[in-house]
Structure 1
Amino acid sequence: MKTALTSTALAAVMMIAGAGLAHSETLTVATDPSFVPFEMMDQKSGEMVGFDMDIIAELSERAGFDYEVRTMDFNGIIPAVQTGNVDIAIAGITITDERAKIVDFSDPYYDSGLQILVKADQEDVTSIDDLSGMRVGTKIGSTSFDYLQETLGETSTITPYPGSADMYMALLGGSVDAVFYDAPNVGYFSQTRGKDKVKVVGPLYEGQQYGIVFTKDSEWVKPVNEALASMKEDGTYDSIHAKWFGSSSDE
């Protein structure tokens, strides 16, 4: 009996210890502070907020890890994960075959694409072909930059900017004739700081999916995917989506 009691007590201790370890590992999460409304700095609190920040907060609870956010230019995020300087990245990062050679991705968590932004009085641009011969701004290291290089590289002046705010200010200031970038970010700017000054034109180009990035062979890919699936099943994902985009993710 004594042995049985000891074994039971030991098992209980191990269960308690195991529960305590659920959040014992602190992971470094990289993000880009300029990709609104996915991630941005709250000027009052000094904290990062946004759709991605709510997603990673919920995933950490369900997958069982603590985390600290590290901000950096988008162009440096994939190399930082690849070299192990950070553990995870979430920054509206498009899943591509090229990137998947050097990092691991979660299951897709957001469907996106690329769109054109021009000044509100611009009437000559309705498609990507109309940008031929024009000055086009985009973000360095982005899939939109790659797309522009392939599509308009020989006919247009393509200027990559370090932050999305920089390319939008370049458009408003007349340094570029158009901006070509991720649809949700372009749309958000057109309805906030750029309202009545700029407009989104043309169709959605290059249907894309965003994924969370991990170092190769990371043990966290599976638990994060399971947590993401449970968020979608119980409606938590839709609630977060509605908070930042004003509608259900299915609309």
Structure 2
Amino acid sequence: MRIALRIALAASAALLTLGVAQAQEKTLRIGTEGAYPPFNNLTSDGQLVGFDIDIAKALCDEMKVKCTFVAQDWDGIIPALTTKKIDAIVSSMSITAEREKTIDFSDKYYNTPTAIIGPKDQKFGATPDDLKGKVIGVQVSTVHAVYAKKHFTGAQEIKEYQTQDEANNDLAAGRIDAVQADSIALGEFLKSDQGKACCDLKGMVAPDDEVLGPGVGAGIRKEDTALKEKFNAGIKAIRANGKYDEISKKYFDFDIYGGATQSN
């Protein structure tokens, strides 16, 4: 009887230990848009790929947590975080004072300038005077929308789109005069057959750190301070051990970590 009791108690202890371990291995749900190449994009077979995705996977490995990705429309991604449908945002989201009223951010993991593109057969720049009277396309709920409304007050219209692709498509079709977005995302479009045929780079916009922010970070709920510390430690670690550079070289031929201002 004593032997049987000991076996039963040992089994119970093992199950309890397993239960605690499983509880500690909670899956981290990472939200991303899946419509912003080369940073995050959904392939035809439904796989999320891109720089954001690879960086997030590297950070999850560094934090030793299991992660899953959740594709989320851009204008709903912060509400998804605050209502706990996801646990973090890794989706080229710029760190701005306005967003920090609602959520917190990790340290930056990249920073690139913001640009203007337009039709190849038209010569203009990226200043307010250059864009006076023009219809400018921007993605909704981005720093670009805020910037355009603040600085391009002489534009005929600041037209907002649900995705960057929709803005680019309208520019290619001649329905708008210019598009403002992250320079790398626009560079990807300009390298495409559609982009090569229609459009070119007009220039970089003037800096505005208040609107564009100091860079791109992972979005985290304000109360999740321990998770923020893990993200910050992970970013520091992959920068130091070479993993960040390995990922960056898959997508870019320059140092994306630095840069002037900006992303989404």
| TM-score category (smaller protein) | 0.7 to 0.9
Q: Give the 3 Å change call, closer, same or farther, for CA 60–190 of structure 1 in structure 2.
A: same
Partner of 2:219: 213
Please tell me the residue identity of whatever aligns with 1:140. Answer: V
Match of 1:244 among 236, 251, 264: 251
Q: Over residues 207-250 of structure 1, what are the superposed CA-to-partner deviations in whole Å (9 max), with x where a residue is unaligned? A: 64001001112121111110110100111111111101133447
| RMSD (Å), alpha carbons | 2.3
Query: Is contact 2:136–2:155 with CA below 8 Å preserved after alignment?
Result: no
Q: Give the 3 Å change call, closer, same or farther, for CA 123–184 of structure 1 in structure 2.
A: same
1:129 offset after TM fit, Å? 2.6
Query: Is contact 1:63–1:224 with CA below 8 Å preserved after alignment?
Result: yes
Partner of 2:240: 233
CA distance in 2, matches of 1:215, 1:59: 17
1:19 offset after TM fit, Å? 11
CA distance in 2, matches of 1:237, 1:159: 36
1:46 offset after TM fit, Å? 2.1
Partner of 1:31: 32
Q: In structure 1, the residue corresponding to 2:95 is in which secondary structure?
A: coil
CA distance in 1, matches of 2:72, 2:206: 27
Partner of 1:4: none
Q: Give the 3 Å change call, closer, same or farther, for CA 18–129 of structure 1 in structure 2.
A: farther
Please tell me the residue identity of whatever aligns with 1:195. Answer: K
CA distance in 1, matches of 2:81, 2:43: 25
Partner of 2:201: 200
Q: In structure 2, the residue corresponding to 1:212 is in which secondary structure?
A: strand
CA distance in 2, matches of 1:105, 1:30: 14
Q: Give the 3 Å change call, closer, same or farther, for CA 249–125 of structure 1 in structure 2.
A: closer
Normalised TM-score (structure 2):
0.82
Q: In structure 1, the residue corresponding to 2:67 is in which secondary structure?
A: strand
Please tell me the residue identity of whatever aligns with 2:227. Answer: W
Normalised TM-score (structure 1):
0.86
Query: Is contact 2:31–2:69 with CA below 8 Å preserved after alignment?
Result: yes
CA distance in 2, matches of 1:60, 1:123: 46
Q: Give the 3 Å change call, closer, same or farther, for CA 223–124 of structure 1 in structure 2.
A: closer
Q: In structure 2, the residue corresponding to 1:106 is in which secondary structure?
A: strand
* Structure 2 unaligned residues grouped into runs of 5+: 1-13, 259-264
Partner of 2:74: 74
Please tell me the residue identity of whatever aligns with 1:41. Answer: L
Partner of 2:85: 85
Query: Is contact 2:128–2:154 with CA below 8 Å preserved after alignment?
Result: no
The structure 1 segments of at least 4 consecutive aligned residues displaced by more than 6 Å after TM superposition are 16-19
> Aligned pairs, how many?
236
Partner of 1:146: 146
Partner of 2:160: 160
Query: Is contact 2:220–2:228 with CA below 8 Å preserved after alignment?
Result: yes
Query: Is contact 1:115–1:205 with CA below 8 Å preserved after alignment?
Result: no
Q: In structure 2, the residue corresponding to 1:220 is in which secondary structure?
A: helix
Q: Over residues 165-210 of structure 1, what are the superposed CA-to-partner deviations in whole Å (9 max), with x where a residue is unaligned? A: 1000000111100001111111111122412421112224436400
Q: Give the 3 Å change call, closer, same or farther, for CA 114–23 of structure 1 in structure 2.
A: farther
CA distance in 1, matches of 2:126, 2:90: 32
* Equivalent runs, 1:73-152 vs 2, <5 Å: 73-152=73-152
Q: Give the 3 Å change call, closer, same or farther, for CA 205–66 of structure 1 in structure 2.
A: farther
Identity among equivalent pairs (%) = 28
Query: Is contact 1:32–1:39 with CA below 8 Å preserved after alignment?
Result: yes
CA distance in 2, matches of 1:144, 1:169: 17
CA distance in 2, matches of 1:173, 1:74: 24
Query: Is contact 2:139–2:145 with CA below 8 Å preserved after alignment?
Result: yes
Partner of 2:6: none
Please tell me the residue identity of whatever aligns with 1:30. Answer: G
Partner of 2:182: 182
CA distance in 2, matches of 1:61, 1:23: 15
Q: In structure 2, the residue corresponding to 1:123 is in which secondary structure?
A: coil
